[in-house]
Amino acid sequence: MKGIILAGGAGSRLKPMTTAVNKHLLSVYDKPLIFYPLATVMLSGVREILLIVRPEDEASYRKLLGDGTALGIRFEYLLQDQPRGIAEAFLIGRDFIGDDHVVLALGDNIFFGHALRSILNEARAYQEGATIFCYRVSDPERFGVAMLDAQDRVVDLIEKPKEPKSNYAVTGLYFYDPSVVRIAAGLKPSARGELEITDVNRQYLAEGRLKCRILERGFAWLDTGTPDAMLDAANYIATIERRQGLKIACIEEIAWRQGWIDDAGLARLAKAQSNTEYGRYLAELPKIGK
């Protein structure tokens, strides 16, 4: 399986913060926002990851993440000069995906909760079709919405409905089989002029190959598209990390716990940040144990 993180977009709702800095490089408590979706993809066991970024931001992402060697994984970078819809990621990344399955994560979505790794592994194991994740929200009109039957099977998908008939929003995390490239290539732009991810999912639904996993109570899905949402996310992360003494979305720790780097590799990453609390946390991880 390959991974794609869509990290383009102008972040216009976050200006002036995003006037000079891409929103996915802004901090959410103690780490850049991009670390959170990257952590989700890594927890899925994916080691080949494509980041789709704006041309003006590519150098910053390469400076932050490099080619992935230090984490025992591989990063590639491709450019999206203008946002033309989430589904364009599959056209931009067509050669990268090849004949493999793919997980797509939006760069501004944060997932955290009990058994996240097992939920992701279950979605990865579904070899035929697509898996989406739904989350109950109080303002479904802001999102793509899934209508579910009594067995929690998707019966319809509507993008930002004016009068929602369901409170289940489709989150920014999607697992697809290789046919997603074919489906995306056949899409026509919506009234917004974008290739809609909802239309991709509707095609899988029409083919009877769409699976929905509901993220239950106690699970957190945070969409960081506004200043208030960024603050809420930072406060949430800070509260959990301070209480537990463990970090959320620490990509170096994930790589180490996955066995992609050894203790020596973790020590090198810790030493590069030795004068920070983050670096000291990395240095202490072997004492905590796996």
The model's pTM is: 0.95
Which tokens is 55 given? 């041309």
Examine the domain organization and report whether 204 and 106 are in the same domain. Answer: yes
The phi-psi region of residue 11 (left if phi > 0; otherwise alpha if psi is between -120 and 50; otherwise beta) is: left
> Has residue 11 got a pLDDT over 90?
no
- Give the domain extent around 131: 2-244
> Are the C-beta atoms of residues 183 and 203 closer than 8 Å to each other?
yes
Any idea how long the chain is?
A: 290
Examine the domain organization and report whether 237 and 282 are in the same domain. Answer: no
Domain count, the chain: 2
Q: Which CATH number characterizes residue 227's domain? A: 3.90.550.10
Examine the domain organization and report whether 200 and 78 are in the same domain. Answer: yes
**What is the rounded distance in angstroms from the CA atom of residue 110 to the CA atom of residue 224?**
8
Q: For residue 127, what are the contacts with CB-CB under 8 A and spacing of at least 6?
A: 101, 177
Q: What is the pLDDT of residues 61-99, one digit of tens each?
A: 999 999 999 999 999 999 998 888 999 999 999 999 999
What is the pLDDT at residue 218?
Answer: 84
Sign of CA dihedral 252, 255, 257, 262: negative
Q: What is the pLDDT of residues 21-54, one digit of tens each?
A: 999 999 999 999 999 999 999 999 999 999 999 9
Q: For residue 161, what are the contacts with CB-CB under 8 A and spacing of at least 6?
A: 140, 141, 145
Which tokens is 286 given? 């072997």
Which tokens is 137 given? 């929200």
Examine the domain organization and report whether 159 and 269 are in the same domain. Answer: no
Examine the domain organization and report whether 288 and 212 are in the same domain. Answer: no
Among residues 34, 28, 31, the alpha carbon closest in space to that of 8 is found at 34
Using only C-alpha atoms, the chain has a radius of gyration, in whole angstroms, of 19
Instruction: State the DSSP string of 38-70.
Output: HHHHHHTT--EEEEEE-GGGHHHHHHHHTTSGG
In one letter, which amino acid is 192? R
Pairing, β 168-176 against β 130-136: antiparallel
What is the pLDDT at residue 289?
Answer: 75
Examine the domain organization and report whether 47 and 173 are in the same domain. Answer: yes
Pairing, β 27-28 against β 31-32: antiparallel
> Has residue 223 got a pLDDT over 90?
no
Examine the domain organization and report whether 182 and 262 are in the same domain. Answer: no
Q: How many Å is the maximal CA-CA distance in the chain?
A: 55
Examine the domain organization and report whether 56 and 90 are in the same domain. Answer: yes
